[in-house]
Amino acid sequence: MMDYALGNSQKIGGPDKTVEIHVRNFYQQMYNRGHKVKAQWVFGGVEREYEKTFLVPLPYRTADTLMAVLHDWIEPSTTVISDCWSAYRDIVTHD
């Protein structure tokens, strides 16, 4: 699924469009036990109107990294909905 999503990601949003964003940690469990290995943070978004998506692996989960991804993958003047994580607090100033 990750390969599909990464290969089919596209820039989304624009005026009168709404994009929902979220950061998630994907990992593979070793032998179906609690020990997590190969963890990867991923940042994604879904455009509500046309169900377009993007999914981007994150090297770092910092506010600067997230703002760079928003700039690269979401068009200006988009309404962005998030879970209000503190790293998104400056999202309004990035248009």
Q: How confident is the model at residue 7 (pLDDT cuts 50, 70, 90)?
A: confident
- Report the chain's mean pLDDT, rounded to a whole number: 79
Task: Give the per-residue pLDDT at 70.
Answer: 87
- Over residues 20-57, the pLDDT tens digits come to 998 888 776 656 666 656 678 888 999 999 889 898 88
In the chain, where the domains are located: 2-93
**Which pTM was predicted?**
0.74
Residue 10 Ramachandran class (φ > 0 left, ψ -120 to 50 alpha, else beta) = beta
pLDDT over threshold 60, residue 94: no
Task: Give the per-residue pLDDT at 90.
Answer: 60
Check: CB of residue 53 under 8 Å from CB of residue 46: yes
